[in-house]
Structure 1
Amino acid sequence: MQLYQLKSKQVFPITKREAWDFLSDPKNLAVITPSHMGFHILAGADRPMFQGQVIQYIVKPFPMVSTKWVTEITHVKDGEYFVDEQRFGPYALWHHKHFLKEVPEGVEMEDIIDYKLPFGFLGRLVHPILVKKQLQKIFEFREQKLADLFGKVSGTKNQLSISKI
């Protein structure tokens, strides 16, 4: 069993509350997801985030491949962090932690995703050539979109890494 971990840190010149209000609204996930992924919320995003909330999406992880993705918000600490876990979807495991921290320049947004691919050896084989590259592109898009929305702190750069754990 091979687990992977994606870590991303970004700093934006906004308050922690502004960041929380944006990130805790499930509808905003569509705003920070590349359009080519065909992301569409089916159900569960009709109110602000809460522990136990189940959200259903359709997503196209790759061209011509569409899948249903169901996540549950398993932990929420208002203004601080939340965790979403895949209940059904393209991964064998998806555990995504979102943290917010005040820093002198504004707010630091940190994502830590632990994930596992299905299909055993085949999943491990396609990870570096397909999945890792796709996740990097998604988080690069997200960084740019958030910078367009909230501004950018000069001299800061997104820290993004994906590794085996």
Structure 2
Amino acid sequence: MPYFEVVTAVAAPPDRVFAVCLDVEAHTRSMAASSERAVDGRTRGELLPGETVTFQARHFGLTWRLTARITSYDPPRRFVDEQESGPFKRWRHAHHFEPDGSGGTVMKDVIDFASPLGPIGRIADKLLLSWYMPRLIRTRNAYLASTFG
């Protein structure tokens, strides 16, 4: 199963970073390059425990939809979103927020996922998505971190 982590320093306290990471509109702005937008569930504001959002975006020239639910919520330290429906066989994204000791936050994204289609999906995971997905999360995090600067 593919797995990766991305660690990002953010110049804001954990409670503020936690909130912006749950903000649907901040997320869609951070993914503007893929024309991402919220099309169902909570489409504005901050996601709460148990809520879902469906994002639609273009990746690899195709339009995809992914519905995620907030399955774990421990403010301002951690939350988890998991795919309920969408292109992956499995998608689980744990977001961790720790104080950095100087008023900022160390944000850690821990993601495990798997593509469908058995051996073909495993090849896609290894050759394409293991490079593409961490890059996408780093781009998202850079945008979110810049909103505090």
Give the TM-score, by structure 2 length: 0.89
**Larger relative contact order (CA 8 Å, sep ≥ 6):** 1
Which among 11, 19, 36 is matched to residue 33 of structure 2? 36
Which among 41, 61, 66 is matched to residue 63 of structure 2? 66
- Spell out structure 1 runs of 4+ moving beyond 4 A: none
1:138 alignment partner in structure 2 = 136
Letter in 2 for 1:22: V
Give the number of aligned pairs: 147
1:91 alignment partner in structure 2 = 88
SS at match of 1:59: strand
Structure 2, unaligned runs of 5 or more? none
User: Is the 8 Å Cα contact of residues 37 and 62 (structure 1) preserved in structure 2?
Assistant: no
Q: Does 1:107 align with 2:109?
A: no
1:159 alignment partner in structure 2 = none
Whose radius of gyration is greater, 1 or 2? Answer: 1
Structure 1, unaligned runs of 5 or more? 152-165
User: Is the 8 Å Cα contact of residues 114 and 122 (structure 2) preserved in structure 1?
Assistant: no
Letter in 2 for 1:8: V
Letter in 2 for 1:92: K
Q: Distance in 1 between matches of 2:118 and 2:72?
A: 29
Give the TM-score, by structure 1 length: 0.81
Letter in 1 for 2:7: K
Structure 1 residue 61 displacement after superposition: 2.3
Distance 1:125 1:36, change over 3 A: same
Letter in 2 for 1:74: T
Q: Distance in 1 between matches of 2:71 and 2:138?
A: 26
Moved more, 126-135 or 48-57: 126-135
Q: Distance in 1 between matches of 2:109 and 2:66?
A: 19
Q: Does 1:21 align with 2:19?
A: yes
1:12 alignment partner in structure 2 = 10
2:147 alignment partner in structure 1 = 149
Structure 1 residue 47 displacement after superposition: 4.1
RMSD of aligned alpha carbons: 1.6
SS at match of 1:150: coil
